[in-house]
Amino acid sequence: MNEHTTTSTGTDAGAKHAPHATRDKDATRQRLLDAAEQVFAEKGYHGTVVDDIIRVSDSSKGGFYFHFPNKQAIFLALVDKLVPRLAAAVDRAIAAESDPVAQLDAALRTVLETFGRHRQLSKILLIEAVGLGHGFDEKLMRTRGRFAAMIQDYLDRAVAAGAIAPQDTTLVSWAWFGAINELVVRWLALGQPERLEDVLPGLRAMLLQSVGIAVSALPPERRADHDA
């Protein structure tokens, strides 16, 4: 019934006299989001019933509908929280490097680590959000497009920098997204490879080569072990 370790707002003790106990309100909302994340990842969107979220969050029907207008809304709120987070992390990683190859390394590592660390979010973003129909589809494609755009942006800058030859970066960016996405999904669904990060060396090589950047001739099996 209570704050269940309010992740986000539990620490700033200053806000003692918030009007109408804002803390608890936020806490409830957060508990609902946490529960939703867990249940959606576990049972999928349609497999999840609002009561599941209520139960796991230890709140109530009324509480749920006070914070979210409907089931779809909490799902989208979840997605909307995840995407910018990941996007920002990738942006930061890229910005920290200057060499295109190093940038790709950094970005890839960020993506894989993020997904690797948050199975639940990953499932929601990459699996559960697919095939939902209605307004979901566009939402999802916009999300995917956003990732593709980030990749394309990176590629375009690489082209501009002369690091790679001019090419259809739009197409390539979607293809890259698809490739990365599939490996994550495989990991989520099949548990292969054991550690998601293990796909990094092979994936890196493949992507670089795909845009014309020669990769050292080392056999990937070798690299996989001591690369990073």
Question: Which residue's CB is nearer to DNA, number 6 or number 210?
Answer: 6
- Nearest C-alpha neighbor of 82 from the set 139, 137, 20, 138: 139
Least spacing, CB of residue 76 vs a second copy, in Å? 15
Q: Where on the chain is the footprint of a second copy (CB under 8 A)?
A: 43-47, 127-134, 137-138, 140-141, 144-145, 165-172, 174-183, 185-186, 189-190, 199, 202-203, 205-207, 209-212, 217, 219-221, 223-225, 227-228
State the residue for tokens 């006070």.
Answer: 66
Measured in degrees and rounded to the nearest 5, phi and psi for residue 168 equal -75, 85
CB of 126 to DNA, least distance (A): 22
What the block records as the tokens of 159 is 């082209």
CA 211 to the chain's CA centroid: 24
Task: Choose, by CB under 7 A, the member of 7, 15, 49, 88 that binds DNA.
Answer: 49
Out of 34, 40, 56, 67, which residue is the one contacting DNA (CB under 7 A)?
Answer: 67
In contact, 197 and 113? CB cutoff 8 Å: yes
Tell me the chain's radius of gyration from C-alpha atoms.
Answer: 20
Choose one: 46-54, 85-93, 109-117, 120-128; the region binding DNA (CB under 7 A).
46-54
Q: Which of residues 160-219 bind DNA (CB under 7 A)?
A: none
Contacted entry of a second copy, DNA, none for residue 63, CB cut-off 5 to 8 Å set by kind: DNA
Q: How far is the CB of 131 from DNA (least distance, A)?
A: 15
Q: What is the rounded CA–CA span in Å between residue 8 and residue 27?
A: 8
- Confirm or reject binding of residue 65 to DNA (CB under 7 A): yes
Q: List helix spans (H) across the chain.
A: 22-47, 50-57, 61-67, 71-95, 100-117, 119-122, 136-160, 169-190, 200-210, 220-226
Q: Is the peptide bond before 193 cis (omega within 30 degrees of 0)?
A: yes
Q: In the complex with a second copy, which residue's Cβ is closer, 84 or 178?
A: 178
Q: Residues binding DNA: what is the number (CB under 7 A)?
A: 25
Q: Which does 70 bind (CB under 5 to 8 A by kind): a second copy, DNA, none?
A: DNA
Beta strand segments in 92-173, E: none
Interface contacts to DNA, rule CB under 7 A? 1, 20-22, 24-25, 27-29, 48-51, 59-63, 65-67, 69-72
